[in-house]
């Protein structure tokens, strides 16, 4: 005979609302799978007087202690968002012997190692499938299914907002500002989109993926990060002419004694699968010694996909872990790992410059690049986006160290005929020598 599994939830926003809507529909299915009945007992909200669809007044509380002290509650779902007070509340729930399911990427990126240890000490567990990739099942496979592999790289598009914006720019030849405005009107971007368009959200998610793929605790603030605000419509025009598109790519490569991690707009060959991941979709590509290459694609955000991941974690807990103690979500204890310096990271690069339309400019630029060990692979010259007697010059390079590229650009800026250095983007991700 089954039992009732009491659930508490922290937050009742978009994701919380998705969980509330889904639970009644899943009642019979969950009972068939677990022989247990799930019951949502308490929901923490700021305003208990606000009417919330699917929730009674008796279920609502504004006091975290009511959730923590309720002995009937075995699992707590955290969907508050932001670092605090979410992190504090999660820790208190774990210390009270409650299992936790969270969708909070910021908390897990910054405090994941600490919370895993707290869970272990209190013989419970914290699950966080919804913290990366929305409805894409990636945390579970990294925890379990790839255990026989030595994973060597993660390459991902893990922010739906930026992917939507870049897709619109690619398809419609429109500015970043117009694409962002459309994303906001459709609810894909927040009124303040900084976390998304500056690559902060993606860096949090990449740090989590690194911990699971490689067993290393990576500080999200150590990740080499560049947002998409500077990407212009002509960058897509030139990229397409060269056979590429532009995506905000999150990459992590395991080295012998360090890890290379970055979040940057990157030119991706149009023939590659990642180039075809458009709109709000996310994609995560994993490489390992036995699996070679595996890619997961699906909705990366939204109340329903995220609720799906949250409830999948709840189901996993009820079926396999509840009352059985803690569950390790990584390959052993997380270890510190140094982030690879730019001096050792190599890639090919895309450079866009505005220069005076005069003889000898390209030769000067080529010499400045060459003096730093950077050689030109191809060149496009266009006056379409230029003003007066200037032209836009687009260069791609052969493989070069990032530090050499940055040093070369400083020398290029000193050339009198160079009016402006536009964008510098890696091509096809990064490599390390």
Tell me how crowded residue 258 is: count the other CB atoms within 10 A of its CB.
16
By the 8 A CB rule, do 134 and 262 touch?
A: no
d(CA 26, CA 361): 67
d(CA 285, CA 133): 12
By the 8 A CB rule, do 298 and 134 touch?
A: yes
Tell me how crowded residue 50 is: count the other CB atoms within 10 A of its CB.
10
d(CA 83, CA 355): 45
By the 8 A CB rule, do 433 and 344 touch?
A: yes
Residue 54 falls in which region: left (phi positive, over 0), alpha (psi -120 to 50) or beta: left
Single out the catalytic residue among 92, 168, 205, 264. Answer: 205
Please state at what angle helix 160-172 crosses helix 233-242, rounded to 10 degrees: 80
Task: Look up residue 37 and give its two tokens.
Answer: 């009945």
* C-alpha closest to that of 284 among 99, 100, 135: 135
- Which SS3 state, helix, strand or coil, does residue 156 take? strand
- Which SS3 state, helix, strand or coil, does residue 211 take? helix
C-alpha angle 406-410-411 in degrees, rounded to nearest 5: 120
Q: Say whether 50 is catalytic.
A: no
Element (H, E) at 257: none
Question: Alpha carbon 32 to chain centroid distance?
Answer: 34
- Give the catalytic positions in this structure: 205
């Amino acid at each position: 005979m089954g039992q009732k599994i009491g659930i508490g939830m922290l937050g009742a926003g978009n994701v919380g609302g998705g969980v509330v809507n889904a639970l009644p529909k899943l009642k019979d299915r969950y009972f068939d799978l677990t022989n247990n009945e799930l019951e949502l007992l308490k929901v923490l909200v700021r305003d208990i007087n606000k009417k919330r669809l699917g929730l009674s007044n008796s279920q609502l509380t504004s006091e975290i202690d009511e959730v923590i002290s309720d002995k009937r509650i075995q699992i707590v779902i955290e969907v508050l968002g932001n670092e605090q007070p979410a992190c504090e509340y999660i820790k208190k729930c774990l210390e009270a012997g409650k299992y936790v399911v969270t969708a909070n990427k910021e908390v897990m990126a910054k405090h994941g190692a600490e919370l895993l240890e707290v869970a272990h000490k209190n013989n419970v567990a914290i699950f966080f499938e919804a913290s990366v990739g929305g409805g894409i099942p990636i945390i579970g496979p990294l925890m379990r299914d790839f255990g026989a592999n030595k994973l060597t790289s993660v390459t991902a598009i893990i922010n739906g907002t930026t992917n939507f914006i870049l897709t619109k720019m690619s398809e419609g030849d429109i500015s970043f500002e117009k694409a962002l405005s459309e994303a906001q009107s459709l609810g894909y971007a927040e009124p303040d989109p900084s976390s998304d368009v500056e690559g902060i959200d993606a860096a949090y998610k990449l740090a989590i993926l690194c911990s699971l793929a490689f067993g290393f605790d990576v500080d999200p603030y150590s990740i080499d990060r560049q947002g998409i605000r500077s990407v212009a419509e002509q960058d897509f025009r030139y990229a397409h002419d060269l056979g590429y598109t532009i995506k905000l790519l999150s990459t992590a490569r395991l080295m012998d004694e360090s890890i290379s991690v970055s979040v940057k707009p990157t030119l991706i060959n149009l023939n590659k699968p990642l180039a075809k991941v458009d709109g709000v979709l996310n994609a995560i590509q994993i490489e390992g010694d036995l699996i070679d290459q595996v890619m997961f694609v699906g909705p990366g955000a939204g109340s329903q996909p995220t609720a799906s991941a949250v409830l999948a974690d709840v189901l996993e807990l009820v079926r396999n872990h509840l009352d059985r103690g803690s569950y390790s979500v990584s390959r052993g204890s997380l270890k510190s790992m140094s982030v690879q310096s730019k001096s050792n990271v190599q890639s090919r690069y895309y450079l866009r410059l505005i220069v005076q339309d005069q003889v000898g400019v390209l030769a000067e630029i080529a010499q400045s690049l060459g003096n730093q060990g950077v050689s030109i692979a191809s060149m496009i010259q266009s006056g379409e986006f230029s003003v007066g007697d200037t032209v836009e010059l687009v260069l791609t390079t052969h493989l070069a160290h990032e530090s050499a590229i940055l040093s070369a650009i400083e020398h290029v800026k000193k050339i009198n005929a160079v009016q402006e250095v536009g964008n510098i983007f890696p091509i096809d991700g990064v490599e390390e020598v």
